[in-house]
Amino acid sequence: MHPAYSVIFFTTASGLGYGMLALLGVFVAAGWLPADRWLGFVGLGIAAGLVSAGLLSSTFHLGHPERAWRAVIQWRSSWLSREGVMAILTYIPIAALAWAWIWLEDVSGPWVWAGPVTAVMALVTVYCTGMIYASLKAIPRWSNPWVPVTYIALALATGAVAMDALMRLFGVGSLLGGGTAVVSLVLASICKLAYWRNIDNASPVATAESATGLGSLGTVRPLDPPHTEANYLQKEMGYRVARKHAAKLRQIAILLLFAVPIVLSAIAGVAGDAIGLAAALLGVLSVAAGVLVERWLFFAEAVHVVTLYYGTREA
């Protein structure tokens, strides 16, 4: 599939934002973060800003962005619509949490629900995003149970690294922030490696023979190209990345998204204030670059079954 930069930014930015919102909601409700006005303002502001920027960028990939609002009316059958509905509804507990944390500086009593509800709705929204791709049976590498799991795991991992830097900046919970980041990164790496292993070892669901129904006659190959020049399907669904390049990009993603941030988060968890903050901020830069590579590869490696009619051997 052709990697659309607007969708890559949407899934990475909103994923980080929702992961951060989930952890902020749980941590402040559990009393692990102080109900400090400026901590809440900066933390919720960054997280909600990333979510909003990501959602806005997703409309740029539409042929008619002005009709994006129509997506939410098909929630009974469409994961895209469910994602839109959940994204809108999640702003309600976010607003309640912001009111209690920033204005009242008290996230207890009648406001204690805002944190956990924000966390749950943020993760459900990320799950819906993952299911948009996992529900597409015509793209076997996406129609995979590891896809929504990995989306949630990466959202929490990137959000945890960002929150570690935020906590360091305000001088609270250094060991908690670093430990949460390390654990979430390790779990996310396990999910991503399991996904890659799954798609590498999976048998093709369709071939040129099965697509044309001519398999009983032997090997099928086109005599002439179906078009004199590339059409929309070939441009959008026939994108190919060389296997050797994909292997290198996987290594880069593992290094930037998992290995380097794990080391930096571990350092941030035990180091002094200045070194810890520097390590945490470097971890944010590394994980941001790594998740962009990972998400680009997620789209580039996907093969749509329609490409079987344009020369692809299997999908």
287 assigned to some structural domain: yes
Which of 76, 105, 135 corresponds to the end of one domain? 135
230 assigned to some structural domain: yes
Residue 14 zone, left/alpha/beta (φ > 0; ψ -120 to 50; rest): alpha
What is the model's pLDDT at position 65?
64
260, pLDDT greater than 90? yes
69, pLDDT greater than 70? no
200 assigned to some structural domain: yes
| Number of compact structural domains in the chain | 2
Whether residue 310 sits in one domain with residue 216:
yes
Taken as a whole, the chain contains a residue count of: 315
Which of 135, 164, 192 corresponds to the end of one domain? 135
Task: Give the Cα separation of 154 and 252 in Å (integer).
Answer: 16
Whether residue 230 sits in one domain with residue 309:
yes
Whether residue 124 sits in one domain with residue 3:
yes
233, pLDDT greater than 80? no
User: Tens digits of per-residue pLDDT, 184-225?
Assistant: 999 999 999 999 999 999 888 888 787 778 777 778 777 766
Task: Give the Cα separation of 150 and 145 in Å (integer).
Answer: 9
Dig out the tokens for 191 from the structure: 């999910």
156 assigned to some structural domain: no
153, pLDDT greater than 90? yes
User: Tens digits of per-residue pLDDT, 299-312?
Assistant: 998 888 888 777 67
Whether residue 181 sits in one domain with residue 86:
no
Whether residue 182 sits in one domain with residue 125:
no
Question: What's the average model confidence in pLDDT over 250-279?
Answer: 92
Whether residue 106 sits in one domain with residue 203:
no
User: Tens digits of per-residue pLDDT, 115-135?
Assistant: 999 999 999 999 999 999 999
Whether residue 314 sits in one domain with residue 184:
yes
Region of poorest pLDDT, from 206-210, 231-235, 248-252, 264-268: 231-235
Whether residue 283 sits in one domain with residue 184:
yes
162 assigned to some structural domain: no
Task: Give the Cα separation of 161 and 286 in Å (integer).
Answer: 10
Which of 135, 153, 183 corresponds to the end of one domain? 135
142 assigned to some structural domain: no
258 assigned to some structural domain: yes
Residue 236 belongs to domain spanning: 174-315
Whether residue 306 sits in one domain with residue 230:
yes
Helix (H, G, I), strand (E, B), or coil: what is residue 290? helix
290, pLDDT greater than 80? yes
Whether residue 180 sits in one domain with residue 130:
no
Buried b vs exposed e over 118-134: b needs ≥16 C-beta within 10 Å?
bbebbbbbbbbbbbbbb
Q: Are 303 and 315 in contact (CB under 8 A)?
A: yes
Whether residue 91 sits in one domain with residue 185:
no
Whether residue 98 sits in one domain with residue 230:
no
312 assigned to some structural domain: yes
Q: State the CB neighbour count (10 A cutoff) for residue 156.
A: 28
